Amino acid sequence: MSGRHDKYERRTIRHLRIRKRIRGTVDRPRLSVFRSSNHIYAQLVDDVRGVTMVSASSRDALQPPAEGKVKGKVGISVAVGKLLAERAKAKGLSSVCFDRSGYLFHGRVKALADGARAGGLEF
């Protein structure tokens, strides 16, 4: 083996390294993020039972915010974070542990986290 990995394998290695330390419970589920080239997905996972408790994505029908139309992927990511926080609050969840899934914490991933914080979730 050459010991060289492409960017997808490196992300998977980082993701597994992060998952060794992060574990979601009923009281504090894991906020898992997946970012594709066009969309962003987030879900709250209880790893003890292996159940997804709440999910939201950019493919859901998002209501435009009061301040104006959502622009770009970063703006949509903020809206997805707020939608996820709203759905979590409806289920009685307020505290989560953030799993960035091996992505760098900037851009759309950071925007989703900021939107979830603005919606009332505590990390």
Whether the pLDDT of residue 35 is over 50: the answer is yes
Q: Are 96 and 121 in contact (CB under 8 A)?
A: yes
The answer to whether residue 1 sits within a structural domain is no
The answer to whether residue 11 sits within a structural domain is yes
For residue 73, give the nearest of 106, 37, 43 by alpha carbon.
37
Could you give the number of structural domains in the chain? 1
State which residues form the domain around 113: 7-118
The answer to whether residue 91 sits within a structural domain is yes
How far is it, in rounded angstroms, from Cα 113 to Cα 15? Answer: 17
The answer to whether residue 22 sits within a structural domain is yes
**pTM for this one?**
0.86
The answer to whether residue 54 sits within a structural domain is yes
The answer to whether residue 97 sits within a structural domain is yes
Assign 32 a pLDDT band (cuts: 50, 70, 90).
very high
Question: The domain spanning residue 91 has which CATH number?
Answer: 3.30.420.100
Which of helix, strand or coil describes residue 56? Answer: strand
pLDDT over 70 percentage in the chain: 91
How many Å separate Cα 107 from the centre of its chain? 13
